[in-house]
Structure 1
């Protein structure tokens, strides 16, 4: 690739909110809300680790130690985009989109009821 001057484009993730598209790259600090985004990521990381999450660094191809691999995983563009969406939209909508895009079932409890997100829909039929 080097001899042919071929360069791989870095991966990025986009989020569209209020007709404005925000783009995030790995470890991106260029967004005006970067401090808030990384604060939200740290909060999420603490909460899911407390819930039993263990990062899978086996797919991290960088020749670095485990701590650096975990750090790199937490700064993926997708996670930055998710944190941005969480601090700028209502969480209910974000969880619906995440369940649909990732094909995951998510159960969330608010002060009044349990919400079961699956396939981009919620069990409360958006009554919340």
Structure 2
């Protein structure tokens, strides 16, 4: 598409010292808030979190999930795009929540930027497969994922 225009805008942003707000997600468990950025490796449970993401990825692919790489940066190959999507902050928060909460309990995740369509699809698949209620709050709405569906009706 218009990636040449994107490069121009990013160049102008850099010249004018304009920074894009980094994506962050938060999850509160046992009165402690844990925050995650894209590709975050700083959490003490990072190894477990990424292992859980690998399990989830395998599980939902077997159920028919196909990554929508149109939500990833376009200057990389398809494999790298899919890898980058799996590093989104809300997925890290999801994995952390699944590791640290009992089966059947709801997860409540907060995100400072709008959820991308691929993450939305992942959350739907995960909620259906593991039968967990997941509430994701982004700046625009609450997404209530349950049994493979979202309360937004896939319109956000």
How high is the TM-score relative to the length of structure 2?
0.64
Q: Does 1:105 align with 2:126?
A: no
- After TM superposition, give the deviation of residue 102 of structure 1 in Å: 2.2
* Moved beyond 2 Å, runs of 4+: 94-105
When the two chains are superposed, the root-mean-square deviation of aligned CA atoms in Å is 2.1
Pair 1:50-2:62 in alignment: yes
- Structure number with bigger Rg: 1
Verify: 1:38 aligned to 2:70, yes or no: no
TM-score, normalization by structure 1: 0.77
* Structure 2 residues not aligned, in runs of 5+: 1-12, 107-131, 152-156
Give the CA deviation at 1:99: 8.1
Give how far 1:105 is off: 3.4
Distance 1:14 1:85 in 2: 10
Q: Is the 8 A contact 1:15 1:21 kept in 2?
A: yes
Number of aligned residues:
110
Match of 2:14 in 1: 2
Distance (whole Å) between structure 1 residues aligned to residue 81 and residue 103 of structure 2: 28
Take 1:98 and 1:47, find their aligned partners in 2: how far apart are those partners?
Answer: 20
